[in-house]
Amino acid sequence: MPAIGEGAPTFALPDTGGTIHAPDGAAATVIVFTCNHCPYALAWHERIIGVASDYADRGVRMLAINPNDADRYPRDSLDAMRARVEAGEFGGVPYLRDESQEVARAYDARTTPDLFVLDSGGVLRYRGAPDGDQDDPGENAAWLRGALDAVLEGRAPNPDETRPVGCSIKWKA
């Protein structure tokens, strides 16, 4: 499990079209473990994607990763992921498939959503929820935005860790 201030695991995963993506040293990288079937992930989704759009011109890159066992949860299948991407739900954010669940395990991801912010050196600077209430759009992913502002300005985020809230990752048996 990566600790705040330590290097985060590297990875390379395919998106819904088969293109491989990896953290690439962007000014900041947001890794979002998410899925299709969880109400927490869905409730926060537009807010999280909004952050990607708002911070793109500051060099922030976001990668969304679905690690769930699609055999037990068919709504998290690659086809279902592709349908959401094709419907425009992810804007320009790549939606990656973690079929082996190795990336989720490497990050010790617990829920969907669970967010990780890396700086340009791949060091973990924030981990947790987007904000304090999935039911309040006015929260506007404040914790995530605050973490990105801090990283982009070379400061330590405060808070740098919050409790991830959502559905448990659906691990394979």
By the criterion CB under 8 A, which residues form the site for another protein?
Answer: 37-40, 42-43, 72-73, 134-135, 137, 165-168
HSE of 76 in the Cβ direction (CA atoms, 13 Å)?
27
For residue 28, count other CB atoms closer than 10 A to its CB: 22
Nearer to another protein, 75 or 155 (CB): 75
Residue 85 carries which DSSP code?
Answer: H
Q: Of the two residues 8 and 41, which places its CB atom closer to another protein in the complex?
A: 41
Assigned token pair, 114: 């669970």
Q: Tell me, what DSSP letter sits at residue 8?
A: P
Report in angstroms how near the CB of residue 6 gets to another protein at its nearest: 28
What's the min distance (Å) between Cβ of 37 and another protein? 7
CB-wise, 27 or 43, nearer to another protein? 43
Whole-number minimum distance, CB 88 to another protein, in Å? 17
What b/e string do you get for 93-122 counting C-beta neighbours within 10 Å, with b at 16 or more?
A: bbbbbbeebebbeebebbbbbbbbbbbeeb
Tell me how far, at minimum, the Cβ of 123 lies from another protein, in Å.
Answer: 29
Cβ-based nearer residue to another protein, 144 or 169:
169
